[in-house]
Amino acid sequence: MEFEEIKITEDGKLTKKIVKPGTGDQPKTGQVIEVHYTGTLTDGSKFDSSVDRNTTFTFTLGTGEVIKGWDIGMATMKLGEKSIFTIHPDLGYGEGGSGKIPANATLIFEVELLGFKDKPREKWDLSDEERRVEGLKFKNEGNAFFKEENFEDAKKKYEEAIDYLESDTSPEAIGLKIPTYLNLSAVCVKLDEFKKAIENADHALKIDPNNVKAYFRRAAAKQAFGQLEEAKQDLKSALGLDPNNHDILREMQLIHEKIAKKQQKRKETLY
């Protein structure tokens, strides 16, 4: 069956034949396009095919991720449309060619437009408020994983939350960062990553030097790391801020007992 050839550019360097019409709107610059395609040269030799790989191809329209013929041609398609594009070398790979494509080759592409959507916004495209929303979402997801004792995924979520909040110095962001750092410290202890646990408690204390929970979490990490005297000092700092905290008092007692046992063992070794 012969299909009508449509000039997309006035000079005829890009044309298409619609094999199967599509419906709805056409994609816009900046949207993510999903297609299946097969590329051949004018002699019929195939040089590439997503169909053969059984893997669709995606790209952002109008941003130079693909050859000009594609950026211009795909913008004329509708959802579900299948067309055959003939692309002049000037809108293809030109004098340089590419891989199996020789220099100054005219390209024939059969393309099916499977879908298109707005490109997800990157972190740096978001406002401070939007980043805080994302940070809170990741923090809550981390908490859910922590409750399930899925510590690896909890850690990833807390780290993603920090990534969104790190540069924000607003009171709202600080109110999110401190508990996220502390939760990250706690999960690192669970994963036996004691150095990272201490570092995250440090981050919380840098923001709020009088944070009792941060001293408590850092003490727990140092104790697990075998730094008993350092853990004791953190607990002393915590008690100075909250003298009647039963959890801290209990941990202080345990630390004293561990230090005493360690000293006794050292004495026994000397005799």
Q: Do 12 and 111 belong together in one domain?
A: yes
Q: Do 230 and 178 belong together in one domain?
A: yes
Last residue of a domain, one of 118, 134, 152: 118
Do the beta carbons of residue 61 and residue 74 sit within 8 Å? yes
Nearest to 216 by CA among 238, 199, 197, 194: 238
Q: Do 16 and 145 belong together in one domain?
A: no
Is the pLDDT assigned to residue 100 strictly greater than 60?
A: yes
The answer to whether 163 is a known catalytic residue is: no
Last residue of a domain, one of 92, 118, 144: 118
pLDDT of residue 119: 86
Q: Do 100 and 196 belong together in one domain?
A: no
Which of 72, 87, 101, 109 does the annotation list as catalytic? 109
Which of 57, 85, 93, 151 does the annotation list as catalytic? 93
Q: Do 134 and 58 belong together in one domain?
A: no
Can you tell me the distance from the alpha carbon of 265 to that of 256, in angstroms, rounded to the nearest whole number? 14
Q: Do 65 and 95 belong together in one domain?
A: yes
Last residue of a domain, one of 71, 90, 118: 118
Q: Do 94 and 167 belong together in one domain?
A: no
CATH (domain of 28): 3.10.50.40
pLDDT of residue 264: 77
Q: Do 222 and 208 belong together in one domain?
A: yes
Number of separate domains in the chain: 2
Q: Do 162 and 67 belong together in one domain?
A: no
pLDDT, tens only, 39-73: 999 999 999 999 999 999 999 999 999 999 999 99
Do the beta carbons of residue 27 and residue 61 sit within 8 Å? yes
Nearest to 16 by CA among 76, 83, 82: 83
Crossing angle between the packed helical segments 171-190 and 194-207, to the nearest 10 degrees = 160
- String of DSSP letters for 72-126: HHHTT--BT-EEEEEE-GGGTTTTT-BTTBPTT--EEEEEEEEEEEEPPPPGGGS
The answer to whether 158 is a known catalytic residue is: no
Per-residue pLDDT band at 270 (split at 50, 70, 90): low
Q: Do 175 and 46 belong together in one domain?
A: no
All residues at 6 or more sequence positions from 75 whose CB lies less than 8 Å from its CB, including other chains? 26, 27, 28, 29, 61, 62
Is the pLDDT assigned to residue 271 strictly greater than 60?
A: no
Which of 8, 67, 248, 255 does the annotation list as catalytic? 67
Q: Do 92 and 131 belong together in one domain?
A: no
pLDDT, tens only, 165-218: 988 999 999 999 999 999 999 999 999 999 999 999 999 999 999 999 999 999
Q: Do 43 and 143 belong together in one domain?
A: no
The answer to whether 225 is a known catalytic residue is: no
Which residue range forms the structural domain that includes residue 36?
5-118
pLDDT of residue 265: 76
Q: What is the pTM of this model?
A: 0.61
The answer to whether 93 is a known catalytic residue is: yes
Can you tell me the distance from the alpha carbon of 66 to that of 139, in angstroms, rounded to the nearest whole number? 37
| Amino acid in position 114 | L
The answer to whether 151 is a known catalytic residue is: no
| Amino acid in position 166 | E
CATH (domain of 222): 1.25.40.10
Phi, psi of 177 (to 5 degrees): -65, -45
Which of 47, 84, 207, 208 does the annotation list as catalytic? 47
Per-residue pLDDT band at 123 (split at 50, 70, 90): confident
All residues at 6 or more sequence positions from 43 whose CB lies less than 8 Å from its CB, including other chains? none
Q: What angle do CA 126, 128, 134 make, to 5 degrees?
A: 70
